[in-house]
A and B are shown apart, each in its own frame.
Chain A
Amino acid sequence: MTCDEVRGKLTPYVDSELPAGEMTELESHLRGCAACAAEALGLLQTKLATRAAGMRYAPSSEFRMRMEQMMQAKRKPAWWRIRFPRLATAAVAAVLLIGSIALWVNHSGRERELAEIADLHVTALASSNPVDVVSTDNHTVKPWFAGKLPFSFNLPELQNSGFTLDGGRVAYFERNAGAQLLFKLRKHQLSVFIFKNESGGFPSYPGTVTATRLEFHIETWSEAGLRYYIVSDAPASDVHALGELLRKAARS
């Protein structure tokens, strides 16, 4: 590939949209061409910086309430539900799909918070780049967060535990930046989220709370000024086991 050809393909390359064959060819060019490699790095950094800065606006609680009322009104019986059952089914399905909004607003602060955290886990897993720092090494992952977050944290020792660390990324919840760490256990993936407890947006409750949202098991607790969440489709006992390792690490 020539430099011109490579530059024409750098956008799909950083977006992981290039076919595997071209990807290999392009990467081989990048290894030998400093100018194209610098261009690819610049593009990738812009993409990652945009991803982090792009979740900027959150709906106000008043607006959420207004949407809830709107959805509730839509649920009331109407003449067309009787005359057009297919339409009624569709509308109900729509309410269920879009309008977990209503469900979301109905729940307590804690329920809403846990649903959001489960969503963050699903969004990361659905991403083509679920982690920004790819490493199984605590000594690589932990320093990567330095300067990106207003706090630091300890990573657990995983020897003989069955868990492996896949990497991490910066996550945002209620406009607070925190760490998202991805662990693996057998075929299950587990997200650990760590936020500063004083940042606001986190309902305060004591002890360890376990819940199930969207078929995911969640465990959350506070330790040394930090709020921890674990989300996974792994059995609750495995989620708890990772929680124990994290709590031990936090106290060490």
Chain B
Amino acid sequence: MPLFARLYNFAHWLTQDRSEAEDLVQETCMKALKGFDSFHQGTNFRAWIYKILRNTFLTSRTGLKAAPVSLDSDEDAVVEPIAPGTPESILISSLDQQMIQKALAALPVQYREVILLCDVEEMSYQEIAETLAIPIGTVMSRLSRGRKAMRELLNDASIRSASRSIDK
């Protein structure tokens, strides 16, 4: 059953803790069972259940700590490319999964969740907008900024790793 394992993966990325992720998935399933009347047939079930999970997370201890950052003040501004001229494609392709996971974990939750929903869950912007209850323009701007932040983290990690190899 894809949603169970995928919901758990998403929950673990949000909470960064196995036990909290389990509680979050369990509570989400309980709420979904109780509140199934609020799900309208013909609408998106996946967006509905992810929305329950995400809202449950926001009211959890970890979620409350992560929530208050405002990231969307200038959402229409163009996100500048990172370090123009850097052969970034070579750097990123040489990174291992662990580095990518570390970079993803280091992002603010608001960026991490939108990137996970888009790139890992492969949701459309419309589905992400429904899940996070934000406009599509905000989905796009958070993705742009989140990916930029992630690429900067990956470039830094890659440069550190390269200089360690040279020092050896």
Using a CB–CB distance below 8 Å, which chain A residues touch chain B?
4, 7-8, 11-12, 15, 17, 35, 38-39, 41-43, 45-47, 49-60, 63-64, 66-67, 70-71, 74, 86-87, 90-91, 93-95, 97-101, 103-104, 115-116, 119, 122-123, 126-128
Contacts and interface: CB of A to CB of B under 8 A. Distances in A.
B94 to A, nearest CB: 11
Interface string B28-62: 01101100110100000100010000000000000
Contacts of A97: 45
B143 interface: yes
Nearest to A71: B29
Contact of A98 (B3, B13, B37, B104): B3
B110 interface: no
Task: Pick the 6 closest A-B CB pairs, nearest first.
Answer: A54-B120, A57-B12, A119-B2, A94-B36, A53-B100, A100-B1
Interface of B: 1-6, 8-9, 12-13, 18, 21-22, 25-26, 29-30, 32-33, 36-37, 39, 45, 49, 78-82, 84, 88-89, 92-93, 95, 97, 100-101, 104, 115-116, 118-120, 122, 124-125, 140, 143-144, 147, 150-151, 154
A119 B1 contact: yes
A91 B1 contact: no
A126 B124 CA distance: 11
By DSSP majority rule, is chain B's interface helix, strand, loop, or mixed? helix
A34 B129 CA distance: 33
Nearest to A87: B37
A94 B3 CA distance: 13
Contacts of A15: 118, 125, 143
Contacts of A71: 29
Nearest to B80: A7
Interface centre among A53, A87, A126 (most CB of B within 10 A): A53
